Amino acid sequence: METGRNRWGVVCLAAASFAAWPACAGTVISEAAIVGAVGGGLTGTLCLHPTVPIVTPGGVRVETAPVCVAVTAGAFRVQLEPNDTALPANSQYSATWRLGRAAAREERWTVPTVVAGVVLTVGDVVAPLVLPAVQIPAASVVGLVGALAARPSEGAGYAARRAAVVDPLGAVGGAVGGSRDGGGVVGWGGAWGWGGDGGGTGATGPAGPAGPAGAAGAAGGTGATGAQGPQGAAGATGAAGATGATGAAGAAGAKGDTGEQGPQGAAGAAGAQGAQGPQGAAGSAGAAGAAGADSTVPGPQGPAGAAGATGPAGIQDVLRFGICYTAGCGSESTINYISPLASGSFTVCAFNLATAATGSPVIVDVQDAGGVSIFGATRLVAAVGSTAVVTQSVFASSPQVFSATDKFRALVLQNDSGNTAQGGAVQCR
């Protein structure tokens, strides 16, 4: 049997199918080119079990009940718990092959612990098996007794320097010439014998009067080709192949993940207080008091006019954030939420960068403490190459109201792929 080093499809031993074995875990052993002496992938079974119950360092216990997997067209795959670190020490798996018409053959395996994704072959796990020094009876080899019986033996007529034939009993003897064999007769006008059918030399004819030489007989025909002998018994198992050359150095590891974001900078200074609203208009003058009846005393003064309405409040920033502290803006968000400290509704938000983006636009969102955007489907977008202030007055609700205890934060939804944009500010009123 030869074993190739190609990989094949997955066959996994699951605890649901075999109660004595644990769920799929451990080391994968796979072959894809197990062929016979005359070529072609072999088909049969491979039965495995530890010679004694073992317990892995992870606490998995594997019993000695055998589990068999199919070998189809020279290929199989099985997953076993490694026993190189299991208890008791020096345990082995018994691996019994039953392939084609060949007799069963046992191997002993030591299954090593490998990292996830590494697949081994039989050559990586097979351990030396000491077989008993016994002779195998000829009858145990399929076809051997018949092949030995069909061999020719030396018959009674066998002798050196004679043409050999195999008699009906299978013995090798000497060929006996016939009257039509190639030897001619000597006599007057006597013709040479007919061409033989092929085989031994014809017998000499009786002596006769001397005469001219007879014509040469025709050449004997070629004897038929003998039947092919039976196939020889399978050769002994070849010695183990030499150790493979050391594999080439592995490729360089993939680039490491981006480091975690640094702490957010301090909050920007509070916006300036809005200008005071204009004073309300003065109340209208009270109506004149009625004239005193037939008196020279003036009537009382009318009541004072009502106070004018309070003027509108000055415009001021409700929220103000610093963002894009790192070049390219990263996937930043403000380190903490900001409260508006009063109730109201948003009317507009603005965003600009100190250093413009060079690879892709920088997109910023403002979200409440539940992670919900105040803009809905729209966002604040700083275009490539621009440090101009961009505004957004379309909000998720109309009006987009807030209370004094609500909390909000700004965060970057899309970085500058050119890693250049930096120094951003977000303001909402």
Contact of 68 with 45, CB cutoff 8 Å = yes
Quick: pLDDT tens for 210-232: 555 555 545 545 544 445 545 65
Mean of pLDDT values over 381-408? 93
* Mean pLDDT lowest among 8-17, 95-104, 256-265, 319-328: 8-17
Of 175, 172, 167, 170, residue with least CA distance to 155: 172
Classify domain 319-428 by CATH architecture: Sandwich (2.60)
Quick: pLDDT tens for 229-270: 456 555 565 566 566 566 566 566 666 676 676 576 565 554
The Cα–Cα gap between 332 and 116 comes to: 35
Classify domain 27-127 by CATH architecture: Sandwich (2.60)
The DSSP 8-state label assigned to residue 140 in this structure reads G
Contact of 421 with 362, CB cutoff 8 Å = yes
Between CA 164 and CA 167, with CA 217 as vertex, the angle to 5 degrees is 20
Of 113, 114, 104, 95, residue with least CA distance to 31: 95
Answer whether 0.75 is exceeded by the pTM: no
Residue 271 pLDDT > 50: no
Helix (H, G, I), strand (E, B) or coil at 123: helix
Domain boundaries, the chain: 27-127, 319-428
Helix (H, G, I), strand (E, B) or coil at 384: strand
